Structure 1
Amino acid sequence: MAASSSEDGELRRACAAAIGGGGSKENIVLAIRVAKGRGILEKLGRVAKPRVLALTTAKNSSKGQRAKAFLRVLKYSSGGVLEPAKLYKLKHLTKMEVVSNDATGCTFILGFGNLRSQSVTPPQWTMRNIDDRNRLLLFILNMCKEILGRIPKFVGIDVVEMALWAKENTPTMNSQGNIQDGPAASVMMQRDLKVTVEKDLVSQAEEEDMEALLGTYVMGIGEAEAFSERLKRELLALEAANVHALLESESLIEEVLQGLEAASVCVDDMDEWLRIFNVKLRHMREDIESVESRNNKLEMQSTSNNSLLDELDKLLARLRIPSEFAASLTGGSFDEARMLKNVEACEWLTGAIRGLEVPNLDPCYANMRAVKEKRAELEKLKNTFVRRASEFLRNYFSSLVDFMISDKSYFSQSLDKNCLGPLRKAYCHSLNLLLRREAREFANELRASTKASRNPTVWLESSTGSSQTGNSTDSSTVSEAYSKMLTIFIPLLVDESSFFAHFMCFEVPAFVPPGAPANDTKNGSDGNDANDDDLSLMDSNANGNNSSELGTLNEALQDLLDGIQEDFYAVVDWAYKIDPLRCISMHGITERYLSGQKADAAGFVRKLLNDLESKLSSQFGRFVDEACHQIERNERNVRQMGVLSYIPRFATLATRMEQYIQGHSRDLVDQAYMKLVSTMFVTLEKIAQSDPKYADIVLLENYAAFQNSLYDLANVVPTLAKFYHQASEAYEQACTRHINMIIDIQFERLFQFARKIEDLMYTITPEEIPFQLGLSKMDLRKVLKSTLSGIDKSISAMFRKLQKNLTSEELLPSLWEKCKKEFLDKYESFVQLVAKVYPNETIPSVEEMRDLLASQ
């Protein structure tokens, strides 16, 4: 033991150096060498690891607090130096167990309660001899008693043997305990080994009785059976006394049971109250969220209102008509003194009218009622001023011509350039009335002679019968009438422009004669395109000196032909009322005539064609806007199931629009497709979200109907092909969501179990997963039993659920196949997880599940 003492002192100093290197203030009570994993591991051929166990105490700085006790594990580094390996708190020690498989009794296990939640087997420690084992265990026992106020559980340890050993080895251990670790360690060593062992394990009287009993047992080996019988009789007497005591305390037990029953009633009442409070709190939380949502909407509405007021102020400033300009335009005289004010009023009116047109005005304001009314008011002012000015000029020209005719000496001056201006104006005014009357009479006769039934403008209204769109009447005569109007009057207007230029002595380049090659080949015409309607002026840039003269000519042509465009507009409006889709073919006809006019054609004719093209685009845009409005009205209807009415009707509309293009430009129709289909998809999503329970069913049925109805057109129209693919993707997404929902209804526990396993595999190994809470093999078997027993009924339930709310029966076979494939994919992933985590568990194979699904 002396060598052991010397060795223990050196070991304590080495341990103190290892622990002190980390800045620890712990006192080492005992340090002893052990082997980790010896005993059974040696039989298995594994090498035991040398370790050092050190019992330490740390004094708490706060007054009134007990000292803390620790068990430190130290290991040897590659250089043979001790270094800390693990630290255990003795307050968590619950069990000291000697391994029964080790015949020497030197191998034991220390069980710590805080290790229960971990899937780790407590390490085994093997001492060099029984004395070292008893030393360590007694030290731990006394430290737990004195510092923690409790002792751990003994398993496989003879307490009497430990007490006798402690009594025999007390002097030796006392001598080892007086080390330089301070008074705390010294007191622990001396008092705990000498007093605590005798006092706490057994008292002096109990020790004497035990010694006498053991002495009797040793001296009288032949009396063992008698001794055993005696002990059995005493045990039976003690048990009878215990039963009697229990019977006597029956009333107390009943009182306790009654108290427990009353407490249970109180707990049930409290549970009910808590449930009520939980409901009220949930309602209160929903009310708070609703209030917050309304507050957010009010703030957004306030910000929007302020921005709207600013915009309206700017718009009102543009809509105001100065009183002095209104007076000049409606009732002012044309005297020379007031002519400057009249011109200023005309310039303001022109700018105001242009300012209310779409290029200069935000398109969102174009259809506002106030803007329309102000535009009509400005047009009325313009018409009033034009009527007054025309009357003044007519009287002025008449008097001027009469004066020139009556005075022959003055008539000779008319050949002078300075005298041509009044004559040109008189000619333009007189011929303008004739041309406008001819155009009006021709347009009226044309409309009266054209027989065409009016087609409905309501194409996508949900309340409109299908026969209204499916049996549309032929309205080709409308386009033919418009084409005839252009065929007759466009060459006439060009000819009148040419004659006026020559007759009124304008020094401008000659017109290109019919059939001659044109210098300008842009706007869709080539060198071989000789159109009889194409009488145009030569490029004014060929002779810079004539540019001002050409400008004067175009102004005169405006006076000559102005007003005739109203009859063309009337034909366009008449055609729109009969069949709005005819705007497509008329737009193409206008593009063909416009491409036939060179850049420097008679200015008024080209401007007229441009205005007609813009008006047709605007009219067709109005039809598209109305159709979009009809689609959006479906959103406000009651809950809708099945295919929405506007899906098949759009296919009919698109088919007819393609018929009206007839080789012309597609831009107008493609833009309409983009606006209509976008509105259809947005409205469909809103209708679906109005009832989230059936949202995916509504989406997949309508997107499937959209694809079926537009399959042929999508193969030849790129714009529709893009939306066809968009509908296909949305259909697949809705199918996937709906199918997963149906699968989860029947097999939620099975695949939820799989998701838990997948989540844990990111952090721990598969072998550790069966030891986690809720993921044991027993839990797996329970899940398999609850979900896969009666699997054929669950599969039938999935089919019925898929069929229940589906109105399009033709979609059921494909959806059921998708559902079975999705279920097999999920189940295959589950089988792979089980094979990896629970290799010995048997579950139905993927092939068996596939055969079962195929039989349904």
Structure 2
Amino acid sequence: MAKSSADDEELRRACEAAIEGTEQKIVLSIRVAKSHGIWGKSGKLGRHMAKPRVLALSTKSKGQRTTAFLRVLKYSTGGVLEPAKLYKLNHLSKVEVIANDPSGCSFTLGFDNLRSQSVTPPQWTMRNIDDRNRLLFCILNICKDVLGRLPKVVGIDVVEMALWAKENTPTVPKQMNQQDGVPVAATATESDLKVTVERELVSQAEEEDMEALLGNYLMGIGEAEVFSESLKRELLALEAANVHAILESEPLIEEVLQGLEAATYCVDDMDEWLGIFNVKLRHMREGIESIETRNNKLEMQSVNNVSLIEELDKLLERLRVPSEYAACLTGGSFDEAHMLQNIEACEWLTGALRGLQVPNLDPSYANMRAVKEKRTELEKLKTMFVRRASEFLRNYFASLVDFMISDKSYFSQRGQLKRPDHADLRYKCRTYARLLQHLKSLDKNCLGPLRKAYCSSLNLLLRREAREFANELRASTKASRNPTVWLEASAGSSHSSHNADTSAVSEAYAKMLTIFIPLLVDESSFFAHFMCFKVPALVPPGGVANGNKGGYNDANDNDDLGIMDIDENDGKAGKNSADLAALNESLQDLLNGIQEDFYAVVDWAYKIDPLRCISMHGITERYLSGQKADAAGFVRILLGDLESRISVQFTRFVDEACHQIERNERNVRQMGVLSYISRFATLATRMEQYIQGQSRDLVDQAHTKFVSIMFVTLEKIAQTDPKYADVFLLENYAAFQNSLYDLANVVPTLAKFYHQASEAYEQACTRHISMIILYQFEKLFQFTRKIEDLMFTITPEEIPFQLGLSKMDLRKMLKSSLSGVDKSISAMYKRLQKNLTSEELLPSLWDKCKKDFLDKYESCVQLVAKIYPNESIPSVSEMRELLASM
């Protein structure tokens, strides 16, 4: 028989090494196979494949207390045992041997402290029955000794375990040193192997009793047949005894039967009585149910009647029209003292109408005749009140404006500019702001005529105020008129008039905008709030529009009307666009026509000084950039129209000035610097002084148009006399650069034209100087040009043999051209001086002439030395010295 792994000392030492440091002592270690499969059923291979494990029983003593453990150890990758699981034996509840295992070597251990009892516990399989019994017997002994109880054992007989333990008590030779030192082999008892017979599962006395009992049953039994016959005889004897006992008890049975018969009669009588009572009870129950049904119906009817009365009272309360409200709605006064009663009546009427609508009223009431009649009555009240209120407000708006127009102290008068003040007007209008809110909630269609009436009345007032203010503004502004003729050729226009101070003109225009633009914005904002338009606020309450610098600002002018939004649904974003379109249409009616007075100021300023259009354009742009609210649509349009009108006026001025420039072309003979060249610098300087804000673009466009026309006209005039064209061009381009030098450094647009004039000046200088040089030394440079042309086709050695290019021809040409060269150079200087009208240009032109002549002469000398190496010609240095001495 193979040696059990429980006796493997190396295995025990490996287990002790694995649990080193835990202060536990190994009692038994044995190899097992772990699996999760069920015998007789198929499972996943990876899940139910047996895995080698080692089960070790260990104990730990702490004082008088001993704790027992069951350890599961597994083999690591290197074949070293390492702890895998740890169970306490005091939680061991069941030991079950698998019945489906034919070998009987598989068992499971059940613990009562596992987290998931639904998980199948692992199965442990031993190599043979002896190993199984040895492990289980050791576990049971430890449970009995340490815990004082045994777990439930299933699938194995405890007596069989005890008999096996007695038969398989191992003996281990032990070396014992006696006093004489001779080793003697001793037999190890059960205590030496931690297996004690006295601590077996069945005690010795119990075992003797069981053997005696078994002996009594086995006495006299020789063969199975004999024993079977004996049992049959005993069975027949017992049956006969039972029959005899039954027969002897017959009198008692008769007595019992008589008693049962009497009881049957009593039961029949009772059944009859119970049937009678049952019928009576059934009739009584039906009567009670009928009474309860009638009672429940009466109670339900009573409750319904009470609820109906309450509902009718509520409905009647809704349908009742208070007499004080009815009187107010049909014939009340709209004076300021009675407005509180009117508002209360409006609130009641609005609530009553909403209360009779289906969402707020039960749908079952909606078709009642009383409700329909009351709804019709309320609609008549609403129509009558809206008509009366609308008629009153139309007359009220007209009377307010008529009163203000009839009083001249409201408007600007001769010698006194009057700033429009609408504080009192708005204060009186605010009295009826809440009434308008209620009118809107009652009938939105009534606001249209009211808005038109308000716009029509106020439009008269605003136009009158703007007209009187503009007239007095122009009358009180003192400014000398500048002529529109700036760039004409005649000398009739003096420069002194161009320098007149016309700043009062643009200041007057700015004052017009400063007073009226915030006023118009405030009026637009007040109108939007007062007439119940649901649009974003134009300016903060009491604020002023951007661009108002020290202008109109009424500290008490608060456009917050102090009213709540009565119709909450009107504030939705979906209606904003429609309200905004309606508002802009109404603002057109409110402010239309006032732009004519602004146009009049613009036209008046243009007539005094057209260049002031630049300042007015910048002022207008500044105000336009400040109007960003949607409710100021008309104000933005007005400013945009003013900007366009100013641009048109300035464009007309530019076109007239350009026409003056073009008229210079018609003159037959032009000499020297044209008049518009020098005057343009003055015009450009003044335009730059008037730039404000973004009017830079306007001035740049004017610069571009002016200079383009000037240059085109200059080129046309120069073509009328080609002989002096270059002199004429270089003098005018030089004058343009000299006059605009300072401005070109700060104005990018003029800098571009400055560079263009510089290039044209250089080209004109080059052409004029080349003409003068060729005029004096034509033969010399024509001879050189012939040689250069032939060098493209023949070699330099062949050129002296060509017709007209021989050495003799060269000597004749040099003699005629360079004899008296100093006189030729003097003549060249005189010719250059003769055609110039601007003496300040002569030094620079003469220097350029000498430089170009030396460059051409140097090329000529190099060419002659190359083609005619033995011929003599004055050197370049000699010619440079000659030029320097002159």
TM-score, with length taken from structure 1: 0.50
Q: Which has the larger radius of gyration?
A: 2
Q: Taking structure 2 as the reference length, what is the TM-score of the superposition?
A: 0.48
